[in-house]
Chain A
Amino acid sequence: MLDRLSSKLENIFKKLRGRGVLSENDIDAALKEVRLALLEADVHFKVVKDFLAAVRQKAVGQEVRESLTPGQQVVKIVWEELRRLMGEDLSGGKPLHLSANPPTVVMLVGLQGSGKTTTAAKLAHRFKQEGRRVLFAAADPRRPAAVDQLVALGRQIGVETQTLPADDAVGVCREAVARARDRHDDLVILDTAGRLHVDEPLMAELKRIKAEVSPHEVLLVADAMTGQDAVQMAERFHREIGLTGIVLTKLDGDARGGAVLSVRAVTGVPVKFIGVGEKPEALEPFHPDRMASRILGMGDVLSLIERAEEVFSKEQAEATAQKWQTAGFSFEDFRDQLRKMRKMGSMESLIGMLPGAGRLMQNVPARGLPDQELTRIEAIINSMTGQERTRPDLIDGSRRKRIARGSGTTVQEVNRLLKQFLQIRKLMKTLSRSQGRSGLANLLKSL
């Protein structure tokens, strides 16, 4: 795990070990590093200042505990303070409150390109999965093809879109809510046009929409990559229209997401969801503690490790690695990994978290393997005999035909899988040669 900040702090406090109390000088040296980390993460400089003052007050004079090094102790204070600022953990409960008197109206607002339309689809997908009926309102008549985009996404996930009256954002929202009430829908999601927070006519339009349909939730959709401007932007949106929540998007990249802290600090509005990809499934509840680690530069490794640990224990990984090395990698192993992977969640989101592991997926189509394809691959492996699974070289033309028939796939698909399998096996060999067993174990854990 790359944990630069902790190791820097360890360095600062090396001399301190056993001295008993965290002194002002030591703390100040440490906080300089914390400051750098926060600024690099795009936390607003004023927020950083206040934050450091709070940490300083907590840390100075603290007794150094037996169990922790002074460096660890400061990291802990910093982390806890960050965690506190990040707000409540809503991930266990229901982040959105559904109205007792449906439809619940959810209004999405934000800057251009922040991800509102995609977020509309993600929210709808989530509620559809809970068995709720959703309607979209396409309230962006300005950007070319914005309406088409929402309609197309709606079609993909089975949600209808209110598009009329064209060129009238307020009217579309009003009609959508009326239609949803008639149809007894549970939710209406209003996808408004992106706008600058300083654009007065357009901010006035948002106010009119709000007055017209009284939304239950007004969610600010904000890009995790936003810099220092996040404060002004969020403050303005909150002041002008009143926000009930924040959706932080594009966290599948490597942005540290300091903007979230700035936005929280100026609005006090809770972060409800995070976006981690382009597909409708790529929406997750917000975990304040993970976000705190991420901002400090500990990456999302924490959640990845957590998820990997659920599936692979360390010993298991070592054992498998050893087996692969001595007995070779077989289709049994392949199927095993496949199943584990499916248990862990979408491959794309996993690979996004682990940049290095991407190399393993060279043969995967650009936008990731759909679950459907995984099912087909598993069906092909299931149709092999035990012997074939350990000795794929036995699988000749007639066996390929049999396997294809048995799995309801085509010979081409079987061929492709065999080819990919041989490539992976070759890769395993190179890896085990170059990095030894621990390398393989790591690879396994990262798969």
Chain B
Amino acid sequence: MLRRIKGALSKTRQRWRQGLGSLIHGKKAIDADLLEHLEEILLSADLGVHTAQRLLSGLRDRLDRHERADPSRLNAFLKTELLTFLKKNESPLEVSGPVPFVVMMVGVNGVGKTTTIGKLALKFSKEGRSVILVAGDTFRAAAIEQLDIWGQRVGCPVIKHQSGSDPSAVIFDGLSAAKARGTEVVIVDTAGRMHTKFNLMEELKKMKRVMDKALPGSPHETLLVLDATTGQNAVSQAKQFHEAIGVTGVVLTKLDGTARGGVVVAIAEELGIPVKLVGVGEGLEDIEVFSAEDFVEGLFGD
């Protein structure tokens, strides 16, 4: 990933290094105190208490006494473990094969779905692909206008219906239009919804069925947008969205703040859903391809 995210994570990295450094310095073996402090470092990155304890018991069980006395071994061990978790089902966002290629964005309210669509549209356009956006959020006030503005900025058409209309209808039209025009990429916005609301999750299933009808095999990517500020509830979000419509990847937004989004480790490990992209700001260019190495590096330093 890029300098930008590294910059954003550098404070974290420093903290990690200080944390690890001061902890390990002068210690001969892992004592309870050291484990507790290590756990706190992991917790503060929102890794969650289960993942943290798993990592630490791995440390205890799999490293022998010599290794445990060596700070660089400790560091390397945690990194490798985290990488294994994160890379479990790694697969980058690749637009290839079907034309049009359909990407559907889902997530709870306010996580950054619409903004990410603007960023992705620019990315694909720059790669020389034709893009259509579909205003599938017909519920939230001015959601259509918001997507429209991103469409104008990027210079790609936005298919929209009236506010308050059935989202499946505009999606059907959007996909049909893309098919007729031979557009290469279609990105579908959806209204933010709580993963616990039965009716709204049913609505999402319906949208997906409609896509499959309009364009068999679509959507080709269903991206769940998660806010890096979110804590352990993100696991529940991922579970519910995945169960309802099958999520193919995560976009982790708002990594430009102080939150570190460690909860994605549990999501990748437990649910096998890989992180594909990260959001690092509000501008059109502020999107990066996720790299597990950089993410973990950002947490640990060196």
Q: Which stretch of A21-29, A145-153, A178-186 is in the interface?
A: A145-153
Known: A227-B46, A227-B259. A149 touches B141 (CB 8 A): yes
Interface of B toward A, CB cutoff 8 Å: 40, 43-46, 48-49, 108-112, 118, 139-143, 145-146, 148-150, 163, 194-200, 202-203, 227, 229-234, 236, 254, 256-260, 263, 282
Contact between A367 and B141 (Cβ–Cβ < 8 Å)? no
Residues of A close to B141: CB separation below 8 A: 148-150, 152-153, 156
CB atoms of B236 and A254 under 8 A apart: yes
Do A278 and B199 form a contact, CB below 8 Å, given A227-B232, A228-B44, A228-B46?
no
- Distance in Å: Cβ of B49 to nearest Cβ of chain A: 4
- B195 and A253 contact, CB distance less than 8 A: yes
Note all chain A residues with C-beta closer than 8 A to B150. 144
Determine the residue in chain A with the shortest Cβ distance to B152. Answer: A144
Q: A255 contacts the other chain (Cβ, under 8 Å)?
A: yes
Cβ B142 vs Cβ A152 within 8 A: yes
A111-B257 CB under 8 A given contacts A148-B142, A352-B194:
yes
Whether a CB of chain B sits under 8 angstroms from the CB of A42 is: yes
- Beta-carbon contacts of A174-209 to B below 8 Å, as 1s and 0s? 000000000000000000000011100000000000
Q: Does A215 contact B (CB under 8 A)?
A: no
Of B112, B200, B263, which is within 8 A of A366 by CB?
B200
Complex interface: chain A residues within 8 A of B197 (CB): 252, 348, 351-352, 358
- Residue with the greatest number of chain A CB neighbours at <10 A, chosen from B43, B109, B233, B234: B233
* Contact yes or no, B257 A197, CB < 8 A: yes
Cα–Cα, bound, A352→B198 (Å): 8
Q: Could you tell me if A228 and B202 are in contact, using CB atoms closer than 8 angstroms?
A: no
A97 in contact (CB, < 8 A): no
Max chain B C-beta neighbours (<10 A), residue from A36, A111, A227: A227
A258 contacts B by Cβ under 8 Å: yes
21 A–B contacts, CB within 8 A, in A order: A39-B49, A45-B40, A111-B257, A113-B112, A114-B110, A144-B118, A149-B142, A197-B258, A223-B227, A227-B229, A228-B43, A229-B257, A229-B259, A229-B260, A233-B258, A252-B194, A253-B236, A255-B236, A259-B231, A351-B197, A361-B199
Report the separation of the CA atoms of residues A142 and B44 in the bound assembly, to the nearest whole angstrom: 31
Nearest residue, chain B, Cβ from A231:
B44
CA distance A45 to B195 in the complex (A): 26
Contacts of A364 in B (CB 8 A): 199
Q: Which residues of B contact A148 (CB under 8 A)?
A: 141-142, 145-146
Whether A253 contacts B196 in the complex (CB less than 8 A), given A145-B145, A148-B142, A223-B229, comes out as yes
A145 and B109 form a contact (CB under 8 A) = no
Q: How far is the CB of A129 from chain B (nearest CB, A)?
A: 20
A223 to B233, CA, bound (A): 11
Instruction: Tell whether A42 pairs with B233 under 8 Å between CB atoms, given A223-B110, A227-B259, A233-B258.
Output: yes
Given contacts A144-B146, A259-B231, contact A365 B110 (CB under 8 A): no
* Complex contacts, A131 vs chain B, CB 8 Å: none
Name the distance in Å between A142's Cβ and chain B's nearest Cβ.
7
Q: Does any Cβ of B come within 8 Å of A92's Cβ?
A: no
Is B49's CB under 8 angstroms from A196's CB?
no
Q: How far is the CA of A113 from the CA of B115 in the complex (A)?
A: 11
Q: How far is the CB of A372 from chain B (nearest CB, A)?
A: 15
Question: Separation in Å of the A356 CB from the closest CB of chain B?
Answer: 9
Does any Cβ of B come within 8 Å of A225's Cβ?
Answer: yes
Report the Cα distance A217→B252, complex, angstroms.
Answer: 33
The answer, among B46, B142, B256, B282, for a CB contact under 8 Å with A145, is B142
In the complex, A94 has a CB within 8 A of chain B:
no
| A198 contact set on B, CB distance < 8 A | 257-258
A222-247 contact mask (Cβ, 8 Å, vs B): 1 or 0: 01011111101100000000000000
Contact of A225 among B145, B233, B257, B260 (CB under 8 A): B233
Contact at A255–B233, with CB atoms within 8 Å?
A: yes
Say how far B108's CB is from chain A's closest CB, in angstroms: 7
Is the beta-carbon distance between A144 and B230 smaller than 8 angstroms? no
Q: Are B199 and A113 in contact (CB under 8 A)?
A: no
Across-interface contacts of A11 in B (CB, < 8 A): none
Q: Are A142 and B282 in contact (CB under 8 A)?
A: yes
Q: Give Cα distance in the complex from A359 to B230, angstroms.
A: 28
Q: Which 10 A-B pairs have the closest CB atoms?
A: A227-B231, A358-B198, A113-B110, A42-B231, A229-B259, A148-B142, A145-B146, A149-B142, A144-B149, A152-B141
Complex Cα–Cα for A167 and B148 (A): 19
Judge whether A143 is part of the interface by a CB distance below 8 angstroms: yes
Residues of A within 8 A of B163 (CB): 152
Report the Cα distance A229→B259, complex, angstroms.
5
Pair A225/B200 contact, Cβ less than 8 Å? no
**Nearest CB of A to B290, in Å:** 19
In the complex, how many angstroms separate the beta carbon of A424 from the nearest chain B beta carbon? 16
